[in-house]
Amino acid sequence: MDHLTDLFKFDTTTWILGGTLGVAFFMYDYWKKTAFQRNGVPGPIPLPLLGNALTFRRGFTSTITDLCEKYGKAFGVTFLSSKWLVVRDLELIQQIMITQFSSFPNHGPDNPFFQDNMMKSSVVVLSDMKWKDARNSMTPAFSGSKLKQMTPIMTDCCDNLLAKIEELQNQSDFIQCKELFGAFTIDVVAATFFGLQLNSQQNPKDPFVQYAREALAVNVFSFRYIAGSAFPLVGRFFDVIDYGLFPRHIKKFFTDLTNQVIDSREKRKVRRREEDGNHGDDNHHHKKIQFTNADITANTFTFFMAGYETTTSTLGFISYLLATNPDQQDKLIEEVDQHFPNGEPLTYETVNKMEYLEGVIKETLRLYPASSLTDRYCEESTVIGGVTVPAQTVFIIPIYTIHHDPEIWEDPESFKPERFNKENNHKIHPMAWLPFGGGPRICLGMRLAMMEMKFGVVRILQKYRFETCPETEIPPVLNISTGLISHQMVSNFELFRENE
Ligand code: HEM
């Protein structure tokens, strides 16, 4: 004990110096946190060190919606060491995401993907030219012709989905949508990006399914995130010792798996070249960046993390909205029957011609946008729309709040797929519907997600209809503690047209 007290025996000069440094740090930190107030930007007054972090204890999405009501179309909040300018003015958002994209092309460092070394070369994390090159090289993988080639994969995954529904129907009166659609989405991701035919509906113990579930359960608001956000230097130290968001054994599993996939694809390519007598480079006409194995791991893992929860919960919300809106469901079933009479197999082109189906999915994403917000980073101090934005500010675009704003959407809480038909589509402001974000940095997997959801919904409605059951929570109480919106979503699938 004596030794311990000895340790803190400093002379007066040391105490004065230490105290002065402490006060200087405190004042500098508070000066940075009050940058919005100095620039006349409205918003809640920050506390020293914490900023407005305590305001967010009820969850991100609901707090942002409440603050929007109180402070208007653009206001500033600070979260630990981060400065956020929340913007819900559509013209301003258009400037940030499109017109002045070159000034704000990147996401901010608070994005969870920034919290792990493995994700350093993820397309979400990359910035400026590096992002542009990577994105240009990845975009063709999501083109219409590539998606069309994925039809057999989607068909197989839908077969597994229907088999599972049939099995669950025999076991219970209701189906938990999150589990059902989660397995469907994992099957699609595993087949598309890892070349694995999983059928996770029947093999929940498959290592891919187990590791995938563990990765998805990682809490974004971990000690690593809070400590790294409060003290950026600590965050950098965590990077040096490779203490990231995802546990090491999960990263090892996905790294090994990606390496195996790359190896076997390379071997197949060489064999095909030898058979064709072609020894040249397939892509010599195109300037493509060379991805390392680590880059490919980071990005396949990104696709998996970005695509799983979003697509799964949207499918759950579609089934909830159709079950609680039977007239709209009848209309959709009619469209399914018109395009695929007698349960015909689905084709990519025909599914894409279904206007009402598109409206149902878009309206679901308006009411329940799986990503309730997105962001852009403002590196240098800028004036935009008359607002002075301090350097290193993150613009927060509150997607959920915009989608429920009565000034933007008439009768915003009602489910009306007709809003998106040909007659009405042109009335929608280009920045009013943002479930996939917007501008050049729009969701890379948007078309894949739309295809996956369309195939899943049509295949189910060829045979079943969605019905509510006593377990269905109406309206659903959403889990909105982070920037993602989800719900367990309980529904009942009634057998449809038993005689056919
Ligand atoms: C319903 C399903 C989905 C929703 C609602 C959704 C939503 C979003 C949103 C809001 C963004 C941010 C865009 C922006 O800031 O402008 C985003 C980015 C992204 N999403 Fe999705 N997403 C979905 C499915 C997918 C799927 C299936 C993939 C798989 C490939 C994917 C991959 C990505 C990637 C890689 C980015 C980052 C793009 C970049 O920074 O260049 N998403 N998504």
pLDDT of residue 310: 92
Euclidean distance between CA atoms 272 and 277, whole angstroms: 8
Does residue 464 have a pLDDT over 80? yes
Residue among 455, 421, 494, 458 nearest 341 (CA): 458
pLDDT of residue 281: 46
The per-residue pLDDT of the chain, averaged, comes to 88
pLDDT in tens, 403-414: 999 999 999 999
DSSP state letter for 244: -
pLDDT of residue 14: 85
Does residue 311 have a pLDDT over 90? yes
Closest residue by CA, ligand 1 atom 13: 437
Counting residues of the chain whose pLDDT is more than 90, the rounded percentage is: 53
Question: Best substitution site from 61, 125, 436, 441 to test ligand 1's pocket, by max atoms within 8 Å of Cβ?
Answer: 436
Euclidean distance between CA atoms 157 and 155, whole angstroms: 5
Min mean pLDDT across 214-218, 319-323, 444-448 is at 214-218
Question: Which 3 state secondary structure label does DSSP give 82?
Answer: strand
pLDDT in tens, 84-134: 999 999 999 999 999 999 999 999 988 878 888 889 999 999 999 999 999
pLDDT of residue 276: 65
Ligand 1 atom with the smallest distance to the CA of 371 is 10
Higher pLDDT, 295 or 271: 295
What fold characterizes domain 57-279+288-495? Cytochrome p450 (1.10.630)
Q: Which residues line ligand 1 (CB under 6 A)?
A: 123-124, 135, 302-303, 306-307, 310-311, 314, 370-371, 374, 435-438, 441-445, 448-449
Euclidean distance between CA atoms 495 and 169, whole angstroms: 9
pLDDT in tens, 26-84: 888 889 889 999 989 999 999 988 899 888 887 788 889 899 999 988 999 998 888 99
Q: Please, which pLDDT band fits residue 285 given cuts at 50, 70 and 90? A: very low
Question: Which 3 state secondary structure label does DSSP give 270?
Answer: helix
Euclidean distance between CA atoms 450 and 453, whole angstroms: 5
The DSSP result for 116-152, as a single string, is -GGGTT-TTT--HHHHHHHHHHHGGGGSHHHHHHTHH
pLDDT in tens, 353-391: 999 999 999 999 999 999 999 999 999 999 988 888 999
Euclidean distance between CA atoms 299 and 293, whole angstroms: 10
DSSP state letter for 76: E
- The answer to whether residues 448 and 138 touch, using CB atoms and an 8 Å cutoff, is no
Does residue 219 have a pLDDT over 80? no
Cα-to-centroid distance, 163 and ligand 1 (Å)? 29
Cα-to-centroid distance, 436 and ligand 1 (Å)? 6
Ligand 1 atom with the smallest distance to the CA of 434 is 10
pLDDT of residue 282: 47
Does residue 143 have a pLDDT over 60? yes
- Report the amino acid identity of residue 154: M
Higher pLDDT, 2 or 424: 424
pLDDT of residue 499: 40
Cα-to-centroid distance, 157 and ligand 1 (Å)? 21
Euclidean distance between CA atoms 492 and 476, whole angstroms: 15
Unique residue bearing structure tokens 């197949």: 268
Average pLDDT of the residues in 456-479:
91
Closest residue by CA, ligand 1 atom 32: 445
Higher pLDDT, 147 or 222: 147
Ligand 1 atom with the smallest distance to the CA of 313 is 1
pLDDT of residue 467: 92
> Per the annotation, does 68 bind a ligand?
no
pLDDT in tens, 176-208: 898 899 989 989 988 888 888 877 777 777 888
Average pLDDT of the residues in 145-161:
94
Does residue 500 have a pLDDT over 50? no
Closest residue by CA, ligand 1 atom 35: 444
Cα-to-centroid distance, 102 and ligand 1 (Å)? 20
Q: Please, which pLDDT band fits residue 284 given cuts at 50, 70 and 90? A: very low
Euclidean distance between CA atoms 97 and 384, whole angstroms: 12
pLDDT of residue 377: 96
Higher pLDDT, 60 or 395: 395
Cα-to-centroid distance, 303 and ligand 1 (Å)? 8
Cα-to-centroid distance, 401 and ligand 1 (Å)? 19
Does residue 1 have a pLDDT over 60? no
Higher pLDDT, 496 or 214: 214
Higher pLDDT, 319 or 27: 319
Q: Please, which pLDDT band fits residue 7 given cuts at 50, 70 and 90? A: low
Average pLDDT of the residues in 254-275:
80
Euclidean distance between CA atoms 443 and 284, whole angstroms: 28
Domain boundaries, the chain: 57-279+288-495
Average pLDDT of the residues in 287-308:
87
The residues pairing with 82 across neighbouring beta strands, listed in sequence order, are 79
